[in-house]
């Protein structure tokens, strides 16, 4: 029987699970399960359901790779305030207990997405790169020596906490100022307030010709582009890859970022959209599991 590895991606509203044979070179998991999380569920309930589904998918995995929102520090999840019970959850120990000593790798979801792009996607062969995920939230992954850099505390690339202006509240105030200005969630909130009705970020981009909407989006895109350029000055990457749910509006986003890179960065990197729009963290977790299993 072919040995299989297992991948789990814990998201804010869903859990995705996939499997692939050891040594696989495919860029999609051979099996895929999605579990929606419910608002009345606690973190342990979500974890229990995910483990049960994982065991049904692969009874005896050769290795397990896991992607999660937040970061893993000192054996617990940090920087995950939006899902009750997840911040402070000892996820590594709980998963190690659940899978009984099977080799296990756990990483932040954005880092996992970057790892998928490094192995199979737009960053393949890159030595130094910047991966920016623009979705409901905002975060980045830093690549050097062909590897994703975790940072001293596992929090490298948490750019949502950058201050977007002088005097802005920051992490100590339980705020993530840049994420609150630029992310898909931020655009939806700002757009809904502007229009007096609920709208999504995607709907806002579809309304771009409307002057007030265009002004809101231009302000956010200018801030995003400036941030990517500033990060590129610091890191001096060969490549910048933009990923996440908002890349459905790549036609608006990529030109603005490209222009800022050309004007602000001494040695402008190559800019591209990520290869993987869906399931990038799951594919990154799969990559980690394959590496553990020798594949």
What's the mean per-residue pLDDT of the chain? 92
- pLDDT band of residue 1 (cuts 50, 70, 90) is low
Cβ atoms of residues 27 and 283 within 8 Å: yes
- pLDDT band of residue 127 (cuts 50, 70, 90) is very high
- pLDDT band of residue 83 (cuts 50, 70, 90) is confident
Chain segment 3-14, per-residue pLDDT in tens: 899 999 998 778
Q: Which residues have a Cβ under 8 Å from the Cβ of 57 and sit 6 or more positions away? A: 6, 17, 19, 31, 33
Chain segment 28-76, per-residue pLDDT in tens: 766 678 888 766 678 899 999 999 999 999 999 999 999 999 999 999 9
Chain segment 235-263, per-residue pLDDT in tens: 999 999 999 999 999 999 999 999 999 99
Cβ atoms of residues 30 and 10 within 8 Å: no
Which residue, chain included where needed, has tokens 């505390």? 153
Please list the residue range(s) of the chain that carry CATH number 3.30.420.40.
4-112+279-292, 123-273
What homologous superfamily is domain 123-273 in, according to CATH? ATPase, nucleotide binding domain (3.30.420.40)
Query: Degrees (nearest 5) of the Cα angle 129, 133, 134?
Result: 140
Q: Which CATH architecture has domain 4-112+279-292?
A: 2-Layer Sandwich (3.30)
Q: Which residues have a Cβ under 8 Å from the Cβ of 172 and sit 6 or more positions away? A: none
* Residue-wise burial string across 46-82, b where 16 or more C-beta atoms lie within 10 A, e elsewhere: bbeebbeebeebbeebbbbbbbbbbbbeeebbbbbee
Burial level of 39, CB count in 10 A (0-12/13-18/19+)?
exposed
């Amino acid at each position: 029987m072919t040995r299989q590895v297992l991948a789990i991606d814990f998201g804010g509203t869903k859990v995705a699970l996939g499997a692939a044979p050891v040594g696989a070179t495919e860029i999609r998991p051979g099996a895929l399960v999605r579990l929606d999380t419910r608002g009345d569920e606690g973190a342990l309930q979500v974890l229990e359901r995910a483990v049960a589904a994982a065991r049904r998918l692969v009874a005896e995995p050769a290795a397990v790779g896991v992607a999660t929102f937040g970061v893993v520090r000192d054996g617990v999840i940090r920087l995950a305030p939006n899902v009750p019970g997840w911040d402070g959850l000892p996820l590594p120990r709980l998963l190690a207990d659940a899978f009984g000593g099977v080799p296990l790798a756990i990483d932040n979801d954005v880092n996992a997405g970057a790892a998928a792009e490094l192995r199979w996607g737009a960053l393949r062969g890159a030595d130094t790169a910047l991966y920016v995920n623009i979705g409901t939230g905002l975060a980045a992954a830093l690549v050097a020596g062909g590897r994703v850099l975790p940072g001293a505390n596992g929090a490298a690339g948490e750019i949502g906490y950058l201050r977007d202006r002088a005097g802005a509240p920051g992490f100590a105030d339980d705020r993530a100022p840049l994420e609150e200005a630029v992310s898909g969630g931020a655009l939806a909130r700002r757009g809904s307030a502007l229009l007096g009705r609920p709208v999504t970020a995607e709907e806002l981009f579809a309304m771009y010709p409307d002057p007030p909407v265009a002004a809101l989006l231009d302000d956010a895109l200018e801030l995003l582009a400036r941030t990517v350029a500033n990060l590129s000055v610091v890191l001096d990457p060969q490549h910048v890859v933009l990923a996440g749910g908002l890349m459905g509006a790549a036609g608006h986003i990529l030109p603005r970022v490209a222009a800022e890179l050309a004007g602000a960065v001494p040695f402008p990197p190559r800019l591209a959209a990520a290869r993987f729009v869906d399931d990038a963290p799951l594919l990154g977790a799969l990559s980690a599991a394959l590496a553990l299993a020798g594949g």
